[in-house]
Amino acid sequence: MTIATERPPAPRADAHRAFTGRRVLVAALALIVVQLVVRGVVAARGYFYWDDLILVARAGEHPLLSADFLLYDHDGHLMPGAFLVAGILTKLAPLHWALPAISLVVLQALASLAVLRVLRVILGGRPTLLIPLALYLFSPLTLPSFAWWANGLNQLPLQAGLALVTAEAILLYRTGRIRHAVAGAGILVVSLAFYEKSVVIPFVAFVAVALLAHSAGDRRPIRSTVRACASLWAGAVMILVGWATVYLSHVEAPLRTDHLDDAAALLHHGTSLGLLPALFGGPWSWDRWPPSPPWATPPVVLVVGAWLFIAAVIVGNHLRRRRIGWVWPAVAAYALLSQLAMVLTRGGEGTAVEIAQTLRYVADTSVIVAIALAVIDQSPRRATHPAFRPILSVRTRPAITAVVAAVFLAGSLWSTFTFEQRWRDNPTVDYVHNATAALAAHQDVPLLSQQVSIWVLLPVAAPYNQSSAVFGPLRERPEFADSTPSLTMLDDDGHLVPAEVSWIRALTEGLAPGCGTRVTGESVAVAPGIDGAIALSQPVIPWVWTAQLNYLSNRDGMIEVSMPGGTPVTVPVQSGLGTAYVRLTGGGAAVDVSAVTPDLNLCFGGGPFGSVVPAQPPDGGSRAAAGTDGPRPHQ
């Protein structure tokens, strides 16, 4: 049995249908062009955000085709395809937004054309195809995941994969041609390379084919679907098994079962305040607390209206169509499972319920809804109940459809505009622009790496919140090193400003008469209180510290500086009086120093030991040293 049950059309009917189909195709392509223009404006006015900078940093740190780069466990995601695209674009133009913006528009075009394809496979050239297509194209449900580059590299290939594999499965069911199984398997592999959630694609395709078979009158649609598409399902199983092997060997299980008592709140916020309002043109307004992404804040009237409208749509579908009883439950199950995945991977203590309103965890539901509407539209009609004939008559339906479409498009465009306003409120823009210009203008002196502004990346992103990681891919910049003779830092606006070491502890004067702490080619710092050791005023815990070493050297040379539990740092020194600022890891009560150059002789005075902060002006007040009255470099 085939899914289509209509009789062969007469020649004139066939010609009319072909003409109508061409007009529908032109209209559909026009809608896609309009969508791409709107989304292109959003992308052009956007910028890098959070994970985008991590992708850039890793692209600068690793070879493009290395396993360390492509198979990295990115917060529970395995996404070699996304890393490859990000890596290529970063190598071409690091920290230039134009190429990522273009990549988002290209991926959106592929996803939109994929949805058009599956709708044409299901509905042919029916004008009603434009309804689910417009819903997918303009619903703000997919907007946040599109605008955020790192998320778009996940979501857009998933959306394209859902549509394309479903289309191939339907064609395989109808024709039995093995090329559809091969194409579907290949698309699945590509989708999995971008996002692990693509494991759902074969199951979505199976359910879609079974629902179409059921609507066509097949009494055993599941058995028919299994048999007719067995080659595709067998290939999908082998692909998923192979993918799961790679995933489990490279990614730490991201599932969290603690604090499941928050699940109800997350589901409520994700459905009532996120999914449903956005599906029908909302949320109209957004909120944001930088550096978090925007989240939907629909008014109560829209939330209530969305629930009433979805109920009316479901009731109306059942009044007009037969054999669709499982369609909406299948959609609801997909949306629920998507949000449960969010709860199990992102829920827990400290997780704000607003995360469910960011929409990125349910964006792909838009493809599922579009397919569901197409399945319903091709299902057999049922006789209209007399009470509903005035509402559902041939004359009133176009008017009702036009009004609903106008309201939906107006709401969607307004929601897009308000989202874009919030999305542009991104401190990363000025920070990266200012820092890029400052680094290019000061390439002569090494720069100590530091944490970037907390308005750009929080410490939880470590080690990729370091300036050496974020700006490492730049070609025009100073060297990032663990020591420098001149201390500067990037402030919260990205400007390169003079800096100093805070007095969390003090490097104390040594005991060598007329020298302080002595270091020679034969003496190695091993403990505080003897030649070659620089004692701290008080011990410190293991951390990342900065030491200001004030020295007098008999010649140019190299020394090695370290702390217990840390990695030694090789530091160049110059003849005469000098200062070296050294970034150290470790803890303890002393800084250990040794001379690498054999005939090197140095004397070290006191100095600050702590973290790098913007330098105070000359009249900026006293500096409280820990355990000392201040630095007294020996001269």
pLDDT in tens, 465-483: 999 999 999 999 999 999 9
What global pTM score does this model have? 0.90
Cβ atoms of 434 and 495 within 8 Å: the answer is yes
3-state SS, residue 566: coil
Has residue 522 got a pLDDT over 80? no
* Structure token digits, residue 130: 């434009």
The continuous run of DSSP H or E covering 239 comes out as helix 230-250
Q: What b/e sequence results for 488-513 when a residue is b if at least 16 CB atoms lie within 10 Å of its CB, and e otherwise?
A: bbbbeebbbeebbbbbbbbbbbbebe
The CATH number of domain 502-614, selected from 3.40.50, 2.40.50, 3.90.1150, 2.60.120: 2.60.120
As beta bridge partners, residue 570 has: 560
**φ, ψ (nearest 5 deg) of residue 157:** -65, -35
For residues 595-622, one letter each, b for 16 or more C-beta atoms within 10 angstroms of the residue's C-beta and e for the rest, the string is bebeebbbbbbbbbbbebebeeeeeeee
> Which one-letter DSSP state was computed for residue 142?
G
Residue 624's pLDDT is 39
Q: What is the mean pLDDT of residues 411-437?
A: 95
Q: What is the pLDDT of residues 486-504, one digit of tens each?
A: 999 999 999 999 999 999 9
**Reported confidence tier of residue 349, pLDDT bands at 50, 70, 90:** low
- For residue 559 the two structure tokens come to 């020394």
Residue 41 burial (C-beta neighbours within 10 Å; 0-12, 13-18, 19+) = middle
Question: Which amino acid belongs to residue 174?
Answer: R
Distance CA(193)–CA(158), nearest Å, equals: 10
Euclidean distance between CA atoms 412 and 279, whole angstroms: 9
d(CA 36, CA 112): 9
Q: How far is CA 157 from the centre of its chain?
A: 13
Task: Tell me which residue has tokens 């005469």.
Answer: 576
Backbone angles phi, psi at 550, to 5 degrees: -95, 120
Q: What is the pLDDT of residue 269?
A: 92
Q: What is the dihedral of CA 225, 227, 232, 233, to 10 degrees?
A: 80
Is the distance from CB of 534 to CB of 510 less than 8 angstroms? yes
Sign of CA pseudo-dihedral 488, 491, 494, 498: negative
pLDDT tens digits, residue range 273-330?
Answer: 999 999 999 999 999 987 889 999 999 999 999 999 999 999 989 988 999 999 999 9
- pLDDT digits over 231-280, tens only? 999 999 999 999 999 999 999 877 766 666 678 888 999 999 999 999 99
DSSP state of 394: T
Q: Order across the sheet with 496-501: list the strands.
A: 488-490, 496-501, 612-614
pLDDT at 75 (0 to 100): 87
Q: What backbone torsions phi and psi does residue 335 show, to the nearest 5 degrees?
A: -65, -40
Query: CA 216 to CA 224: how far, in whole Å?
Result: 12
| Domain residue ranges of the chain, discontinuous segments joined by + | 161-423, 502-614
DSSP 482: S
Q: What is the pLDDT of residue 261?
A: 67
Return the half-sphere exposure (C-beta side, CA atoms, 13 A cut-off) of residue 82.
Answer: 30
Asked if 561 and 547 touch (Cβ cutoff 8 Å), the reply is yes
User: What is the CB neighbour count within 10 angstroms for residue 309?
Assistant: 18
Q: Supply angle C-alpha 410, 415, 419, rounded to 5.
A: 155
| Rounded-to-integer distance, Cα 23 and Cα 605, Å | 84
Question: Residue 394 pLDDT more than 80?
Answer: no
pLDDT in tens, 588-614: 999 999 999 988 999 999 999 999 999
Task: Please provide the average confidence, as pLDDT, over all residues in the chain.
Answer: 90
Token pair of 171 as six digits: 């064609």
Q: Compute the average pLDDT of residues 130-141.
A: 96
Q: What is the pLDDT of residues 614-632, one digit of tens each?
A: 998 766 444 433 333 333 3
Alpha helices in 124-148 (DSSP H): 130-138, 143-147
Q: Are 168 and 235 in contact (CB under 8 A)?
A: no
Task: Give the tokens for residue 238.
Answer: 């082998």
Q: What's the number of CA atoms in the CB half-sphere (13 Å) around residue 86?
A: 30
**188 vs 198: CA distance, rounded Å:** 7
pLDDT confidence bin for 391, thresholds 50/70/90: low
Q: By the 8 A CB rule, do 83 and 339 touch?
A: no
Per-residue confidence (pLDDT) for residue 526, from 0 to 100: 43
Higher pLDDT, 519 or 255: 519
Amino acid at 164: L
For residue 382, give the DSSP letter: -
Question: Is residue 423 within 8 Å of residue 294, measured between CB atoms?
Answer: yes
Token pair 């970034």 is found at: 583
Query: Residue 607 phi/psi, 5° resolution?
Result: 180, 175
Q: Read off the pLDDT of each residue in 424-439 and give the average, rounded to a whole number.
A: 95
pLDDT score of 414: 97
For residues 489 and 445, give the distance between their C-alpha atoms in angstroms, rounded to a whole number: 12
In this predicted structure, the answer to whether residue 181 has a pLDDT above a threshold of 60 is yes
Q: What is the mean pLDDT of residues 548-559?
A: 95
